[in-house]
Amino acid sequence: MKEEVKRTLAYSEESYPPMPTKATLRWRKNILWQAWRFVVLNVKILKIVVGGHS
């Protein structure tokens, strides 16, 4: 018996990522959300840097 092999063709619909929803796009454009995520990311980086210099 032969096993079926599923191959994805280049440039087919399956090879592209899914489109973001309207809610996702709204969050990405929200300046307050971006500022909050910026602060959170910087705190994480600061923890790593301070922990490495102890």
Predicted local distance difference test score (pLDDT) of residue 54: 61
Per-residue pLDDT tens for 24-51?
A: 999 999 999 999 999 999 999 999 999 8
Contact 30, 36 (CB under 8 A): no
Predicted local distance difference test score (pLDDT) of residue 8: 66
Distance CA 11, CA 18 (A): 14
Cα 49 to chain centroid distance, Å, stands at 23
pLDDT at 53 over 90: no
* Vertex 19 angle, CA 15 and 23, to 5°: 155
Predicted local distance difference test score (pLDDT) of residue 4: 78
Per-residue pLDDT tens for 4-15?
A: 777 767 777 777
Distance CA 25, CA 31 (A): 12
